[in-house]
Amino acid sequence: MSVPERRVEPTLREMVAYFLRLGAVGFGGPVALANYMRRDFVETRGWLTTEEYENGLALAAACPGPLAYQLAVYCGYIRFGVVGGLAVAVAFGLGPFVIVTLAAWLYVRFAGNWQLRALFYGIAPVVVALIVKACWNLGKRTLRTDRLGWAFAIVACAITVVVQKALALMFVGAGLLGSFAFGRSAAPRIAPAMAKPKAGANALAILPAAGAFSGTTAKLFLFFFKTGLLVFGSGLVIVPFLKTQVVDQYHWLGNREFLDSVAIGMISPGPVVITATFVGYLLNGVVGALAATIGIFSPPVLFTVLATPILLRYYKHPRVAGFIRGVGVTVVGVLVGTTWLVGKEAIGDWLTAVIGIVSLVVIIFWQKLPEPLVILAGATTGLLTYQIVRPEWLLR
């Protein structure tokens, strides 16, 4: 007979403080952030059970929005209702918003300096290494020895690499297949009771008032709100959609500015979709950054708060459990495939390959070494070598 998992009730203040810190110093993208939450909430602090976490991960993947951000909102909601979900949503996004807005301000003033390009040159492969390690950790814990789960993940990874983006229909299809493939084995499992979230305000109250914006700012809000509705599984999938719209259709940014925006989203802490903040600032200053940030984060908050009660009510049903499992293992494959796509853009010569490999070795064998130090080492390497190597591929 298995021993029930330890459950510790956190305070809302403790959870908000945790996400303030994670948003400000959490590097590595969605896989790494999701892995941090599992380590801290399930394995270390006991704030969530393993099943609660895995249900939240599947919910975050099944609904539109960046995976790590939705998972964070779920964690707040599952313990403190709508109030907790909203508090975590603000706390998790505040640090990245401030950091990226400051980065955009500096970028506008120093965009022509080679030093800025050198920083991107050295940091990007370190970020790829962080994502690779986090992919391995998440995959090992999510897939375990489940051969069928591995098959789902491998197919999802292959499709993502071939089409060069994550397809929303793939998550839905994986869930439907999983409801039958995994549903039978899920039936006899007796799951521990999940605490119902505490009562809170009406979920629809979190919709921002679009009327508060006007002109260019209103267009930014509406554009990124629409974008937030179309991002599934990982904030990294925002990249191809944004390029199509921001560069090719609306001509708001050039290719170089767009790639720099993506780099900022990759190397900054917190959710990768914080790229929206950078784009908003370039187009309309601080007000534009705020409008873009609220726009991109509103849909995932709404979907998470509205979908979680349904999950809590029906998650023990074998078909629902199978659907969740199918989506969960597919997420791993999609994120691995997305990591490959990001790596192709960040690693373009022998030096960036060396930086990436050395960084991966360091974070594997010296796990207590703070990740910001590894990123700082990459930035320093880029500054010292950029003028010597002169990577022309980076300027294309």
pLDDT at 201 over 80: no
Spatial CA neighbour of 116 closest among 364, 394, 338, 314: 394
Structure tokens at 148: 């069928």
Cross-strand pairs, 232: 64
Q: Could you tell me if 334 and 166 are in contact, meaning their C-beta atoms sit under 8 angstroms apart?
A: yes
DSSP line for 274-322? GHHHHHHHHHHHHHHHHHHHHHHHHHHHHHHHHHHHHHHHHTTSHHHHH
pLDDT at 237 over 60: no
Separation CA 159–CA 337 (nearest Å):
8
Q: For helices 67-110 and 50-62, what crossing angle results, to 10°?
A: 60
Burial (0-12, 13-18, 19+ Cβ within 10 Å), 170: buried
Looking at the whole model, is its pTM more than 0.75?
A: no
* DSSP 3-state of 254: coil
Separation CA 382–CA 396 (nearest Å):
18
Q: How far does Cα 2 stand from its chain's mean position?
A: 33
Give the model's confidence band at 265: pLDDT under 50 very low, under 70 low, under 90 confident, else very high.
confident
CB atoms inside a 10 Å sphere around CB 115: 11
pLDDT value at residue 84: 93
**89-103, 144-158, 161-175, 235-249: lowest mean pLDDT where?**
235-249
Separation CA 283–CA 279 (nearest Å):
6
> Which residues, including other chains, have CB under 8 Å from residue 325's CB and lie 6 or more apart?
58, 149, 178, 182, 186
Give the model's confidence band at 102: pLDDT under 50 very low, under 70 low, under 90 confident, else very high.
very high
How does the average pLDDT of the chain come out, rounded? 80
pLDDT value at residue 209: 47
Q: Could you tell me if 304 and 63 are in contact, meaning their C-beta atoms sit under 8 angstroms apart?
A: yes
Give the model's confidence band at 168: pLDDT under 50 very low, under 70 low, under 90 confident, else very high.
low
pLDDT value at residue 341: 74
**32-46, 85-99, 163-177, 235-249: lowest mean pLDDT where?**
235-249
**12-26, 153-167, 175-189, 197-211: lowest mean pLDDT where?**
197-211
- Counts for the chain of helices (H) and strands (E), in that order: 15, 0
pLDDT at 193 over 80: no
pLDDT value at residue 183: 67
pLDDT at 188 over 70: no
Q: What is the dihedral of CA 204, 205, 208, 214, to 10 degrees?
A: 100
How far is the first Cα of the chain from the last one, in angstroms, to the nearest whole number?
Answer: 60
Q: What is the dihedral of CA 117, 120, 125, 126, to 10 degrees?
A: 140
pLDDT per residue over 332-350, tens digit each? 887 788 778 778 878 889 9
Could you give the C-alpha distances from 139 to 17, 161, 188, 380, in angstroms and in order? 28, 17, 25, 31
Half-sphere CA count of 42, side-chain side, radius 13 A: 18
pLDDT per residue over 350-396, tens digit each? 999 999 999 999 988 887 787 778 888 998 999 999 989 888 777 66
Give the model's confidence band at 5: pLDDT under 50 very low, under 70 low, under 90 confident, else very high.
low
Give the model's confidence band at 226: pLDDT under 50 very low, under 70 low, under 90 confident, else very high.
confident
| More confident: 146 or 292 | 292
Q: How far does Cα 332 stand from its chain's mean position?
A: 13
pLDDT per residue over 110-119, tens digit each? 877 888 888 8
Could you give the C-alpha distances from 386 to 57, 65, 258, in angstroms and in order? 40, 36, 21
Task: Tell me the percentage of the chain whose pLDDT exceeds 70.
Answer: 82
